[in-house]
Structure 1
Amino acid sequence: MAGPAAVRSAERSAVPSPGRRWTALLVTERQRPECIRIRPGGWWLAVATVCFGAFMGQLDASIVTLTYDSLRAQFGAPLAAVEWVSLAYLLALVALLIPAGRLSDAHGRKLFYLYGFVVFTAASAACGLAPSLAALVVFRVVQACGAAMMQANSVALVTTSAPREKMRAALGVQAAAQALGLALGPTVGGALVSTLGWRWVFGINVPIGAVALLAGHYLLPRTRHRCPARRFDWAGLVLLAAATTSLLLAVSAASGLPVAGWVVAVLLTVAAGATWAFADRQRRIRHPLLDLRMLRIRAVSTGLFAALCGYLVLFGPLVLVPIIVMLHGHTTLTAGSVLTALPAGFALAAVGADRIMPSGMSDRARCVTGAVLCSGALAALLASSLSIPWLTPLLALLGLGLGLFTPANNALIMGAIPADSSGTGGGLVNMARGLGTALGVALAALTLYLGGPYGHRWALFTLLLISLLAAVAAWLGPGGRPPAMDSGPAPRGPVRAAAEADGDR
């Protein structure tokens, strides 16, 4: 029989130490209060909480470009250097979305979502206090880490919170929050830069993030069902990041960075070599980051190309239009107000297209119609005087075309991908969106630099060509049935994980 000393020792070991209690608290998802879990409409509170992240992500994407002129003036940097405030964020986000989603499936989606808010909010405060352009770019990379943790889990949290029969309505509300953030970004950014200064463009995220973090702690459902972490292709991720970063660095260097020409050639060589190595590795390994056989499906390959073109056309004007407006002698506030027409048109078409378009119109027809509208709007902009009376309605028309094109194109891609690979398909769409956004920023800066006094015209001409390519891709895209993907267990993504989880409602 154990003596009294042994009994007391066992009792002490059974009680967790304060340090262990704090550790457990930090890695444990909190259950929602009983009154919220049993409330019939309580799940809307969780959806509303996720909408904070959806709103902030799109607001940040469209608001930062309004700071470029102020950043150039304060830090004495060329546009090619300032654009990395956006490019660094986008590249980090694209690289981290898939790892964040897989880690969340294993360790808890609510946990990763909340920690994503912590990282995003803290990095936003650091961006607002950045003492130099280099420090601002570094803080933006950290901010992207938090954004990836949020975006990788937003759809899963919505679908695990909402009843199955309310799923489409819940996802529609989330899409509306994204569209609202995208639409308000230019106006809010212009107002902040004109009145309080560029630092408040980042500082505005801090109070919103604090409220969202508190709400998420109490209102988001726990992850009831998790999956073990699968082997992840980290080497493939490094190669993909090297390829995209080298390519954008080369474009940026050619846009006016003070570097030698041979540096651009080296960067392009690295980009080509990393792309080849990535593709070769994906063909050989058992659990690839990207199953290249999907790209043999014509609707997928052409759809992804069209998606990249669409987001390039969407974000290129976010860099270009403020410069055009200020060349005409107007303020940043006016530039933001004019630019709002583009995302507002996008939001209107994305949310209301089903109500105004013919019910029998196919996704392919919607894609082509949207791309043609985009091309017409860009051609009219190219032929116009680019004064505000011309810019505002034509940007709205461009937004309407993109809002009609983008959801239909995404539906074509996902409809062509086998059901057991939908997680990978969602990752491909997000990757094309991120790369298109980054290229939109980079190519706008490149054409502005190379075109001299007519740079804005050359930029519009480039966007018109890309819009026409998107129309051709949409026309040629759909074809054939998706082939079977039988190389092992299907990858798990946020959508599939959400279907298997039921939260704690």
Structure 2
Amino acid sequence: MERRILFTIMLTSFLTPFAGSALNLALPSLGEAYGASPAALGWVLGSFLLAAIVVLLPFGKLADRYGKRRFFIMGNGIFALTSLLAAFAPNLPLLLAARAAQGIGSAMTFATSMSILTLVIPKERRGWAMGWNVAVVYTGLTLGPVAGGFLNYYYGWPSIFIVLAMIGGTAFLAARRFLQEEWYEDTSPHWDKKGAVLYGGAILLIIYGLSQLNSQPLAPGLLLGGLVLFFLFCRYELRQENPLLPITLLQGNLPFSLSCLAALLNYCGTFAASFLLSLYLQSILGMTSRSAGLILLSQPIIMALLSPLMGKLSDKYAPTKLAALGMAVISAGLAGFALTIHNLALWLMIPMLIITGTGFALFAAPNNNAIMSAVEKKHYGLAASLLSSTRLVGQVLSVALMNLILSLSWDGLSLQETLLQNLQLALLFFALLSGLGVIPAKVRQ
């Protein structure tokens, strides 16, 4: 039964990265179908991300209260249903609404999948299970562009959502069949409704403000307002008996807090790197999107192949040491890209992609294992929610920082020279961020 539950969770974990990477290639076709601008098309991905981040932490708390199995099954069902709605959306606003609802469904599975895995798999095999779970995430990233391009070319962009609905429906049926136990962790008669509202409002303002810094004059004010609201949320949580976010847990559990910080730095320092490298291959080296995609595939393939092994190693050796090594390797790989980018040499790309892919594999599953092993059973739901939240927030921060760096101008340089200069600067900055991730990993040892 353990392996069947692991299969179900892996199927769900495959969905979101596969959907995001597959839809990336279909955005031009979506723009033609709806007559939408590139900025509007950005919200096909952004609406999903924003909705998921806002509700993720509250859903983790509610799942502890009303049952993790119930929320996991509902999340898969919502994802499958809204995928069908997206496939037949008659206009862009309805498509964006369906994508936001997809984000809500995914948040329900994000908030529960890792905690269910931790509850079901014994501690001595937990890293192995998490390694396989991370492997399917990278498999989704690998197959997404290939499958998305094929489906979009031969059957049109709605076919991508139909396939997502089929996979989501399979995960829904598998969860109903294989998840027999209901898990409750929160028996308190009250839950923190006001805290959930404060948190949701703060995260909404912060993420939207960050994403619009380069295009909206009100964005800095929204970002500042979100930070103030988040500060008020933290003060409020300190006074609650059953808070949405137990600040005292973060203060008193250094391994857990530092592992979450390491995850935030990892996703912040790496999420935008694939876009930067794709831009380099196509805009600087003049490659087609197909050829660039095939070259970039080498990284997630390495990640998918090595993650189960690294997860298994984290059951035998300190996961914090493996994660710290992973961050150092990622930093070295990104620095290698930055220092050789002016050589315009394609042959240097593959070794660097293999290095960074190995670093990702060293970091992801061991760090997940460290986070879930650092808390008591009653906090598994919170730990899983925070892990997913740090991943999503890190991704948003990564894109915002990338946009800021790419918007820099340099006197005396042509457009292509400016782009090359900014690409190098961005890669160096993200290498530094990844290097900083080694610090919390070392301290928590």
- TM bucket (normalised to shorter chain) is 0.7 to 0.9
Q: Structure 1-normalised TM-score?
A: 0.73
- Does the CA-based 8 Å contact 1:306-1:469 persist in structure 2? no
- Does the CA-based 8 Å contact 2:128-2:308 persist in structure 1? no
Tell me which amino acid in the other structure corresponds to 1:370: G
1:343 to 279, 292, 300: 300
Q: Is it true that 1:458 corresponds to 2:417 in the alignment?
A: no
- 1:221 CA displacement: 1.4
- Give distance in 2, aligned partners of 1:280 and 1:325: 47
Counterpart mapping for 1:414-433 below 5 A: 414=372, 417=375, 421-433=379-391
- Does the CA-based 8 Å contact 1:319-1:445 persist in structure 2? no
- Give distance in 2, aligned partners of 1:412 and 1:302: 10
Tell me which amino acid in the other structure corresponds to 2:196: L
What is the aligned partner in structure 1 of residue 94 from structure 2? 135
What is the aligned partner in structure 2 of residue 219 from structure 1? 178
**Are residues 120 and 396 of structure 1, via their aligned partners in 2, closer, same or farther at CA, if it must alter by over 3 Å?**
same
Tell me which amino acid in the other structure corresponds to 2:296: L
**Are residues 397 and 322 of structure 1, via their aligned partners in 2, closer, same or farther at CA, if it must alter by over 3 Å?**
same
What is the aligned partner in structure 2 of residue 283 from structure 1? 238
- Deviating more after overlay: 424-433 vs 403-412: 403-412
CA deviations 1:129-148 (Å, max 9, x no partner) are: 33444433221110011112
Q: Is it true that 1:250 corresponds to 2:209 in the alignment?
A: yes
**Are residues 183 and 273 of structure 1, via their aligned partners in 2, closer, same or farther at CA, if it must alter by over 3 Å?**
same
Q: What SS class does the counterpart of residue 290 from structure 1 fall into?
A: coil
1:180 to 125, 129, 139: 139
Counterpart mapping for 1:324-339 below 5 A: 324-327=280-283, 328-339=285-296
1:269 to 200, 212, 224: 224
**Are residues 420 and 90 of structure 1, via their aligned partners in 2, closer, same or farther at CA, if it must alter by over 3 Å?**
same
What is the aligned partner in structure 1 of residue 412 from structure 2? none
CA deviations 1:326-379 (Å, max 9, x no partner) are: 43554443343333223223323322236789976x544433432222222222
1:380 to 321, 336, 340: 336
- Does the CA-based 8 Å contact 1:191-1:336 persist in structure 2? no
CA deviations 1:169-197 (Å, max 9, x no partner) are: 55554444334223322332343345444
Tell me which amino acid in the other structure corresponds to 1:444: M
What is the aligned partner in structure 2 of residue 352 from structure 1? 309
Q: Structure 2-normalised TM-score?
A: 0.82
- 1:287 CA displacement: 1.9
Counterpart mapping for 1:55-454 below 5 A: 55-71=14-30, 79-155=38-114, 157-158=116-117, 170-223=129-182, 228=187, 230-255=189-214, 257=215, 259=216, 261=217, 263-296=218-251, 297-327=253-283, 328-353=285-310, 362-382=318-338, 383-384=340-341, 389-414=347-372, 417=375, 421-450=379-408, 453=416, 454=418
Tell me which amino acid in the other structure corresponds to 1:152: A
- Deviating more after overlay: 283-292 vs 59-68: 59-68
Q: What SS class does the counterpart of residue 288 from structure 1 fall into?
A: coil
- 1:267 CA displacement: 1.4
Tell me which amino acid in the other structure corresponds to 2:334: L
Q: What SS class does the counterpart of residue 394 from structure 2 fall into?
A: helix
Which protein has the larger Cα radius of gyration, Structure 1 or Structure 2? 1
Q: Percent identity?
A: 27
**Are residues 161 and 85 of structure 1, via their aligned partners in 2, closer, same or farther at CA, if it must alter by over 3 Å?**
same
Q: Is it true that 1:467 corresponds to 2:431 in the alignment?
A: yes
- Does the CA-based 8 Å contact 2:205-2:223 persist in structure 1? yes
Q: RMSD value over aligned CA atoms?
A: 3.6
Tell me which amino acid in the other structure corresponds to 2:268: L
Tell me which amino acid in the other structure corresponds to 2:80: T
**Are residues 374 and 142 of structure 1, via their aligned partners in 2, closer, same or farther at CA, if it must alter by over 3 Å?**
same
- Does the CA-based 8 Å contact 1:87-1:438 persist in structure 2? no
- Give distance in 1, aligned partners of 2:423 and 2:205: 22
- Does the CA-based 8 Å contact 1:185-1:340 persist in structure 2? no
Q: What SS class does the counterpart of residue 95 from structure 1 fall into?
A: helix
- Does the CA-based 8 Å contact 1:364-1:475 persist in structure 2? no
Flag structure 1 segments of 5+ consecutive residues without an equivalent. 1-41, 482-505
- Give distance in 1, aligned partners of 2:161 and 2:305: 26
- Give distance in 1, aligned partners of 2:353 and 2:12: 26
Q: What SS class does the counterpart of residue 306 from structure 2 fall into?
A: helix
**Are residues 380 and 358 of structure 1, via their aligned partners in 2, closer, same or farther at CA, if it must alter by over 3 Å?**
farther
**Are residues 220 and 350 of structure 1, via their aligned partners in 2, closer, same or farther at CA, if it must alter by over 3 Å?**
same
Q: What SS class does the counterpart of residue 245 from structure 2 fall into?
A: coil
Tell me which amino acid in the other structure corresponds to 1:292: I
Q: What SS class does the counterpart of residue 204 from structure 1 fall into?
A: helix
Q: What SS class does the counterpart of residue 354 from structure 2 fall into?
A: helix
- Give distance in 2, aligned partners of 1:325 and 1:419: 46
CA deviations 1:99-149 (Å, max 9, x no partner) are: 334434444444333322221012112223334444332211100111122
- 1:433 CA displacement: 1.2
- Give distance in 1, aligned partners of 2:138 and 2:50: 22
- Give distance in 1, aligned partners of 2:12 and 2:119: 16
Tell me which amino acid in the other structure corresponds to 1:320: L
Tell me which amino acid in the other structure corresponds to 1:367: A
- Give distance in 2, aligned partners of 1:140 and 1:223: 28
How many residues are paired up? 435
- 1:316 CA displacement: 1.0
**Are residues 186 and 317 of structure 1, via their aligned partners in 2, closer, same or farther at CA, if it must alter by over 3 Å?**
farther
- 1:205 CA displacement: 0.4
**Are residues 387 and 192 of structure 1, via their aligned partners in 2, closer, same or farther at CA, if it must alter by over 3 Å?**
farther
**Are residues 54 and 338 of structure 1, via their aligned partners in 2, closer, same or farther at CA, if it must alter by over 3 Å?**
same
In proportion to residue count, which structure has more helix?
2
